[in-house]
Structure 1
Amino acid sequence: MSPSPLAAATHERVVIESFLGGGEHRTLADDVLDGLTRPFKELPPKHFYDEHGAQLFDQICELPEYYPTRCERAILTDRSAEIVEITGAAELVELGSGTAAKTRLLLAAMHEAGTLDRYVPIDVTESMVRSSAQTLVEAFDGLRVHGIVGDFERHLGHVPPPVDGRPRIVAFLGGTIGNFTPGSRRRFLRSLSALLGPDDFLLIGTDLVKDPAVLEAAYDDSAGVTAAFNRNVLTVLNRELDADFAVDAYEHVAFFDRDREWIEMRLRARRPQRVTVGQLGLRLTFAAGEELRTEISAKFTPERIRGDLAAAGMELCDSLTDDDGLFALNLARVRSTSS
């Protein structure tokens, strides 16, 4: 059962609901019990993003090797007015909203078009939801914000219905859809499809298949920021679950799997390790050279995104790319049942 929402207004046009509680600690514990006791150890990438992890990721986004954020921002700068004209959206729902830095370009275009009514950010970090809500209502006259502090994989059912049936955009930016394995990706897209009415649109960011050298550099930068970001997940486990990982005893590994067309990030034990996860009573061993997978990031072709959307009952309406064709923003809607 979901925890009761904790609602509070920080502004007369802001409502924040939190659906996170003690169960979130259990989620991390469950993921550790499941992922680290497998023959091939792995953890989901959502546990990267504690406060320090989020700061490191912000640094990654500014690195010269890391093009996705830069390319997606360029598309939104150039094409937000076009997106708003196509959709006529009065509302923007954003999964994994963070600081809403890129989304602000869409909100500005909606405001300029005279359609902007409500923004619904969803993020696990309550401070980010609150601060961005306050900033945005002060920036855009008349904007209302209904913030949801929660996990977009588990709390989509708490997204409020659209206002007066007016069109809305559900945005899932940053290429985050690539963190899902193919079957999970299609299941998640079906859950997004359920949020869309006949006049609504999904706006989803996808990183595109390209030269493996470009891809691998983006996930293994020369400054070592991505390596620090990757190892930070062990710090999270040490703090939250009373584990005793020797963080510096693991090296960052990133490579492009050409068969699956995805990037994998792993942590490799430099020498044999014995680890205790105190709160779970769990003892783990790592052989020298043994790897723990911490992320996959699938890269897309037009055929792949079209096929994934079709499997979720949606159709691709348009795909907008940056000038270099590195990244795409895809507009989709629920497939019409009429013949």
Structure 2
Amino acid sequence: MIRKQQMEIDNYEKVAVTPRFCYFKPKVMTNSTMAQEIAFSLSQKKKFISSKFFYDDVGSETFEKICDLPEYYLTRTEFEILDEIKSDLSEYLADNFALVELGSGSSVKTRKLLEILTCKQKDVEYYPVDISDILKDSSINLHDEYENLKITGIIDNYETGLEFIRTLDHTKKLVAFLGSSMGNFSPKEGMEFLEKIHESMSVGDMLLLGLDLVKDVKILESAYNDSSGITADFNCNLLLRLNKEFGANFDLTKFKHVAVFNKKHRRIEMYLKSLTKQHVFMPVIDLFLKFKKDELIHTEYSHKYTTSQIKKMTKRTGFRLVHMWNDKKNYFTMALFAVEK
């Protein structure tokens, strides 16, 4: 459970939904931080918008649609691996573990982990961390499905989630970071984030990490350029969000979704391309933008990994690689890491 002093954090309020489900959220919901970041990132010579801003209500719902697309193999493949390794994973989770999930989303894959823990333990503590309010609905669904599950959610970014993890009194924790979300970080940022995760954990804790592997370029690019245009809608929703929240006048007919694989850096790069020379004004943050024809706004990286890369990451961040499970096509891997003294 969370220590009393953590529950009394000045900047957060605890919302008790049921005796078995509560969540923490910032007391003051403000766009000031987002405004500062957007003003900075769009004022750079190479414009960009952080991928964390994808996930407003519309963005979160659209991403759930992406996960069901035939071209988007990631969610489907990771789910299949989790289903196949339940018996193996169960052996590594012989003791009582609390489950902490970074970027919980709709918690569909979470059920595979809860199936293991709720069968082995009398009571299970689950700590989902997500920047989106989707956490509330997904947690209620899990709450109703598992009678021996207690849920404490954190509606905020990963960094805040890690601060909460540090305060947990559990003997052991399983931290899950699924969906290849690790790929959104640059290699340097990814290493730093893994180090932060390691620092928030204790000896005996384990980390389950989902990572997308390097594969045929056509397969990779198709996953981010689906024929239905759902990923394009997801990307373009960033501009709609800026229009809604900051009074911007982005014309979506003048921008195009672009997703390409960069072989050198082994990553999918997603952009919004200006189709014409144009001006955009954001009155709420007093920002005037000039776009050249074909100018790009970078919105996301999705790095792909090799087995050797994963092993190097393990050594450099202080984890011990326990096991890796790949699907039959070697599209995706689930890697289990242990924290040791």
- TM-score bracket, normalised by the shorter chain, equals over 0.9
The amino acid of 1:207's aligned partner reads D
Partner of 2:112: 105
1:212 aligns with 2:220: no
CA RMSD of the aligned region, Å? 1.6
1:298-313 counterparts in 2 under 5 A? 298-313=303-318
Q: Deviations over 1:157-208 (max 9, x none)?
A: 123644441x221011000110001111111111111222111101111000
Instruction: Give distance in 2, aligned partners of 1:239 and 1:333.
Output: 44
Deviation at 1:18, TM superposition (A): 1.0
Instruction: Give distance in 2, aligned partners of 1:32 and 1:163.
Output: 37
List 4+ stretches of structure 1 deviating above 4 A.
Answer: none
Q: Deviations over 1:241-298 (max 9, x none)?
A: 1111111210111110000000000011111110111111111111011111100000
In 2, are the aligned partners of 1:168 and 1:200 still within 8 Å (CA)?
yes
Match of 2:46 among 40, 43, 55: 40
Partner of 1:317: 322
Q: Equivalent residue of 1:236, what SS? A: helix
Match of 2:178 among 170, 173, 176: 173
Instruction: Give distance in 2, aligned partners of 1:113 and 1:74.
Output: 22
In 2, are the aligned partners of 1:15 and 1:146 still within 8 Å (CA)?
yes
In 2, are the aligned partners of 1:267 and 1:292 still within 8 Å (CA)?
yes
1:189 aligns with 2:194: yes
Partner of 1:27: 33
Partner of 1:145: 151
Partner of 2:331: 326
Partner of 2:206: 201
1:12 aligns with 2:19: yes
Deviation at 1:226, TM superposition (A): 0.8
Instruction: Give distance in 2, aligned partners of 1:7 and 1:77.
Output: 34
Deviation at 1:115, TM superposition (A): 6.0
Instruction: Give distance in 2, aligned partners of 1:263 and 1:115.
Output: 43
The amino acid of 2:100's aligned partner reads V
In 2, are the aligned partners of 1:73 and 1:102 still within 8 Å (CA)?
yes
**5+ residue gaps, structure 2:** 1-8
The amino acid of 1:143's aligned partner reads L
Q: Equivalent residue of 2:65, what SS? A: helix
Deviation at 1:74, TM superposition (A): 0.3
Partner of 1:244: 249
Instruction: Give distance in 2, aligned partners of 1:262 and 1:164.
Output: 37
Q: Deviations over 1:302-336 (max 9, x none)?
A: 111222232221121111111211011111122x4
The amino acid of 1:285's aligned partner reads K
Instruction: Give distance in 2, aligned partners of 1:20 and 1:268.
Output: 37
Between stretches 7-16 and 289-298, larger displacement belongs to 7-16
Instruction: Give distance in 2, aligned partners of 1:235 and 1:84.
Output: 44
Partner of 2:287: 282
In 2, are the aligned partners of 1:10 and 1:130 still within 8 Å (CA)?
no
Match of 2:68 among 56, 62, 70: 62
The amino acid of 1:81's aligned partner reads S
Q: Deviations over 1:218-254 (max 9, x none)?
A: 0001111111111110001111111111112101111
Match of 1:129 among 128, 135, 139: 135
Instruction: Give distance in 2, aligned partners of 1:219 and 1:284.
Output: 27
Deviation at 1:144, TM superposition (A): 1.0
Instruction: Give distance in 2, aligned partners of 1:64 and 1:70.
Output: 9
Between stretches 318-327 and 249-258, larger displacement belongs to 318-327
In 2, are the aligned partners of 1:306 and 1:315 still within 8 Å (CA)?
no
Q: Equivalent residue of 1:92, what SS? A: strand
Q: With structure 1 as the length reference, what TM-score do the two structures score?
A: 0.93
Instruction: Give distance in 2, aligned partners of 1:158 and 1:196.
Output: 11
Q: 1:27 to 1:155 in 2, by over 3 A?
A: farther
1:254 aligns with 2:259: yes
The amino acid of 1:75's aligned partner reads I
In 2, are the aligned partners of 1:19 and 1:155 still within 8 Å (CA)?
no
Deviation at 1:129, TM superposition (A): 2.3
Partner of 2:6: none
Partner of 2:77: 71
Partner of 1:53: 59
Q: What is the number of residues matched between the two proteins?
A: 332
In 2, are the aligned partners of 1:269 and 1:288 still within 8 Å (CA)?
yes
Partner of 1:85: 91
Q: With structure 2 as the length reference, what TM-score do the two structures score?
A: 0.93
